[in-house]
Amino acid sequence: MIRGGTRSIAIYGRNGVGKTVVSTNLSTALSLAGYRVLLIGCGSTAGSLMPSPADVPVPTLLGLMRRHPGVSPAEALWESYAGLFRLETGLSPEGGAGPDMSVTAATRRIAESGLFEELKLDYVIYNVQGDEAGGGFTVPVRQGFFQSIFTVMSAELNSVRATNSLFEQIRQHSGNGSARAGGIIANLVDAPFGRELIDDYASRTTIGVLAYIPRILAVGKKEAPERTVFESLSDSHQAELFSSLALKIVTNLETRIPHPLGPDELWRFSLGWNTRFVEMETGEGAGAGI
């Protein structure tokens, strides 16, 4: 177990990249390994975590705060498979709709409540919603809510751009003691070129890839499955991948300041890979051998 307090981790990724499924299965893997874990869904609704209790409305912390300003975060807490604690933030009490306000307001309320100490948590994992780092991620990164940030990315260029935006935010605020990048989690990696594209980007930004997770029914792109892979496919390769990822996060505490691609470099990167995609589809040129 980690000594000296709770480790706070943010999982970021553009919408549709499978970030929620990765966050949930990773948190479950840590719980199964004997750690006390709280998974916080930083979204605008009560649907940013999977799975949710059947036929039971899930309250959001900030929704409760709007109605009862002095409410305890424990009122929004629920427990799931493997003893994993969960909590949804929802919209901010000021009416803001962005993850910026949700993460900021909810994190402050939770930290001040003493919930981490009460639950004797080893890890708090934030599933951060949003496509762009610039709007929704600036405040929590700047104020140092997270000790380390992991990004879920696929081999799609939109995912690369979203990751690069996050890295720009981390680098911009790296001088004030804020969180650094812990690594890349490659999700939805099936095509032969998937690993190559992600590895290319990772090497340019000096941030390592912790895991390569294939696209499967149990780890979908957008539609959250009914159960974690540990409940539905406990002996599967996918369950083993998440257990291995959890072990890496536990044992590797190293974080780095990323080197995001500049506008021109990102444009050349995208153009180069677009060209290879076309060559692969047409069977012509160097990309045909990807």
* Long-range contacts of 216-221, Cβ-Cβ distance < 8 Å, separation of 24 or more: 219/18, 219/21, 219/22, 219/25, 219/187, 220/18, 220/21, 221/16, 221/17, 221/18, 221/188
> What's this model's pTM, rounded to 2 decimal places?
0.86
pLDDT at 163: 94
pLDDT of residue 132: 39
pLDDT digits (tens, 9 = 90+) for 165-191: 999 988 988 776 667 899 999 987 776
Rounded Cα distance between 41 and 34, Å, is 21
| DSSP conformation letters of 129-151 | --S-HHHHTHHHHHTT--SEEEE
How high is the pLDDT of residue 4?
47
Q: 198, 186 in Cβ contact below 8 A?
A: yes
C-alpha closest to that of 174 among 254, 266, 252, 256: 256
Q: Which of 156, 181, 194 is nearest to 249 (CA)?
A: 181
pLDDT of residue 5: 79
Q: Show the low-confidence residues of the chain (pLDDT under 50).
A: 1-4, 93-95, 97-101, 131-134, 217-218, 220-224, 288-290
Q: How far apart are CA 87 and CA 253, in angstroms?
A: 25
Strand 7-12: give its sheet, edge to edge: 77-79, 85-88, 37-42, 123-128, 7-12, 148-153, 180-187, 209-213
